[in-house]
Chains A and B, each alone.
Chain A
Amino acid sequence: MAPLKSWLQINAKSHFSLHNIPFGIISTPDTPEPHAAVAIGEYALDLQVFSQQNGFSALSIIQPHQKVFSEPTLNAFAALGRPIHRVVREYLQSVFLDNGPFPDVLEKNEQLRKAALLPLKDCKMHLPMFIHDYTDFYAGLNHAYNVGVLFRGPQNALQPNYKHLPVGYHGRASSVVVSSTPIRRPNGQILTNLAAEKKEPVFSECKKLDIELELGCFVCKPSQLGEPVRIEDAPEHLFGVVLLNDWSARDIQAWEYVPLGPFNAKNFGTTISAWVVLMDALEPFANAGMANDTELLPYLDEKDRKSNYAIDLSVSLTTSSGKTTNIGKTSAKNLLFSFPQMLAHHTIGGCPFNVGDLLGSGTISGESKNEKGCLLEQTDNGKTEITLEGGEKRKFLENGDTVTLTGVCGSEEGALVGFGDCVGRIDPAVQLSF
């Protein structure tokens, strides 16, 4: 379809075109309590102000629920369910549409425009949802294969279970932070000599600090203890998608993770982008994801439904000297399992879900050298180096490095649906004295 045009000046390359309308939580000097907003072009539409000043007067279905926009998280809005999200998003698109049906709401309402349409640069972003539980999956098959080759060789790269079920582990919800939060290099126990007979770890700062390029998906509909979510119904449980950087301490991970999985290697910080792109905004970009040559059990079988999304993903690294290098580009098509499949698997034994729960996709990598979603893969576990703009080398992250994940769907200018940035800068480790 032709790009939707707005009366508001929106840059043709903006990730926040009228086709998007992502939701987030902002605060401003004038309204310091966090509250809801949507992003449009270079602006945030402050939904608390908009709703309080009758911006939703033409949308009767939201009338009884408008308090949700003054809440400090999007959980209450998400809990209203997909049909309401759809209608609110479409209404806001109409409000911003050039020659649209509601010109008096905002376009011609200078007072409301001044009060509610705020430059994004003047807004502080907050975690968009209250996260009860966060689960990280491992559905990036190329990543799982590449890492498996590094540690076990090609024959045993993927575990026998890998294609049968979306393997996952519980992450630490308390360590999920919003984009731009600095990330401290963790200290921990590290086995420097893996081959030694007697395992004597040292205690030091992490020396193999890595990123993981992932997507995150938020849940908007709860499930009860003992009641699996049917795969057919799973999409209505999903609110929207963010970018997710699952910062990883590879050396801490190698020593701690047998037999219970990664722990301190992950829980020092996980960054998500601030604007939640609603499932409806992603729908035009749906595709089937990677083919699975294993026959899936019925509870995981999506049949012909397309629940993967063609999102172009990119990772760049900015050093403390200010030079930025693109260090990877790939596509979110490179996932073997979809978010509905992850939810169906996660609940099959009866695990209950809450609104706001977060699912991580797992590291997304393509097949070629420049499509790796983590440094572990890019440098073959530190055996080779990558070269940055200006000549600096990297095996793993250094203090002062800032990593930026970006993602965008589509290529048609004026119709891009993107996620904004998922950013984090590495700060030095705490100096500990005992």
Chain B
Amino acid sequence: MASGSWLSIPKGSHFSLANIPFGIISTPPSVAKHAAVAIGDHVLDLHEFASHQGFAELQDFPPDHLATFSQPTLNDFAALGQDAHARVRRYLQEIFAQESAFPGLLKDNNEVQRASLFRNDEVELHLPMKIGGYTDFFAGKNHAYNCGCIFRDPAKALQPNYLQLPVAYNSRASSVVPSGTHIHRPLGQFLSTPGAVESSFGPCRRLDIELELGALLCKGNKLGEPINVNEAESNIFGFVLLNDWSARDIQAWEAVPLGPFNAKTFATSISPWIVLKGALEPFHAVGILNETKLHPYLREVRKNNVYDIKLEVELKTSDGETAILSRTNGSNLVYSFAQMIAHHTIGGCPLEVGDLIGSGTISGLEPGTLGSFLEASEGGKRSFDVSSTSQRTFLEDGDCVTIRGWCGEDDSNTVGFGECSGTILPALKPSWLET
């Protein structure tokens, strides 16, 4: 992507012309939620742009397609399919190109700019899709291995099924929240010491993060009809960053035999701008090698089936100290999203537009590359430095965690996700609750 934009886009911006991610905004003039794209430090309001004839030069995009930009979620736009997404994205790149073929529609049109181009601090961001189902996988092999080592002999760190199938659990769609939502430390039951016979009740004492990627779907399948692994990529709308906040003590007490539950459902944060699948095409990469011979339904022809996404986790304490806790890469997955989708539907489970698929925690193997505090603190056994004066084992009240992700080496053409952040607030103790 050689051309720059007539709009000033800072170097290194995640929202270069190579990206064009989609989100849902509201603005002072249009308080009802509607679609937008992010460009540099600006936001193009697609509802306003459409109503000001901004899409006049986009072929084969009838009024009912344009109307999807006025919906309060991106589900209807996503359902138009990847071809439509690609054409809209290319069109918007042309609208913003320095030598735009259609300057009269925005570049040279002050009236349309006033109506539809906002600075990103002028808009409010919302959950970009209506999420009917949220499934969290466990495909970060290094994370699975590191956690296994905390609880078991390293030779048995991974369960016998781990490399044969992408292990997953259904999570709670209602607790997916947009970046910036404050997260109250959850209350719950846990054992205060291992092997205690009575459970304790109170605020979670081992509050954690999980650095993940999320895929949002633009196409589903019918009950009883599995999705083929080599076609599954066409079911994906785009990707976000995802923080699967976790209450480790609550999890340890509740999870046998049915899996994590309240440990996860108090909140899951996602970044607000969906990076379309097409924008990540240049960044396909090979993931963690799986030496197991997979069953045919999981054998993906494409070998570079994950993405080279630089990921970082930053902690900011309530004192204002910041530290990068972790740097790792989105390719640290042993299964691709296509394989997750194929496995999810192999028994006939129906997926739908707007469904969210979490990758599972992404970690490297070394300190400084880990996607959770559980790993960084070796199961809570040792604290790690945040600064010269602060340490952590698990999250403290007032901590703000920000996940960032971006692709590309050329800082004029970075394709990034912006931020997925959340601040931990003290547990809410309703007056009626004795603790």
Contact = CB atoms under 8 A, between A and B. Distances in A.
Given A199-B160, A228-B187, A349 B247 contact: yes
A269 interface: yes
A167 B187 contact: no
A105 to B, nearest CB: 39
Interface string B238-262: 0000000001001001111111111
Interface string A264-306: 1101110000000000000000000000000001110000000
A160 B247 CA distance: 19
A259 B159 contact: yes
Given A255-B161, A256-B167, A349-B187, A168 B261 contact: yes
A19 B57 CA distance: 64
B266 A252 contact: no
Interface in A251-267: 252, 255-265, 267
Interface of chain B, helix or strand or loop or mixed?
loop
Interface stretch (A89-97, A114-122, A169-177): A169-177
B365 interface: no
A353 interface: yes
Of listed A170, A172, A184, A189, residue having the most chain B CB within 10 A: A170
A164 B201 CA distance: 11
A170 B297 contact: no
Interface residues on B, range: 35 or more
Contacts of A175: 223, 349-350
Interface in B328-373: 343-344, 346-352, 355
B266 A226 contact: yes
A230 B433 CA distance: 8
Given A173-B173, A267-B349, A349 B259 contact: no
A285 to B, nearest CB: 29
A168 B171 CA distance: 12
B96 interface: no
Interface string A341-365: 0000110111111100100000000
Interface string B196-224: 01010100100000000000000010011
A139 to B, nearest CB: 12
B210 to A, nearest CB: 13
B168 A263 contact: yes
B356 to A, nearest CB: 12
Contacts of A434: 228, 296-297, 299
A226 B199 contact: no
Interface of B: 132-133, 135, 138, 159-161, 164-165, 167-175, 177, 181, 184, 186-189, 197, 199, 201, 204, 220, 223-226, 228, 247, 250, 253-263, 265-267, 295-297, 299, 343-344, 346-352, 355, 428, 430, 432-434
Interface of A: 132-133, 135, 138, 159-161, 164-165, 167-175, 177, 181, 184, 186-189, 199, 201, 203, 206, 225-228, 230, 232, 249, 252, 255-265, 267-269, 297-299, 345-346, 348-354, 357, 427, 430, 432, 434
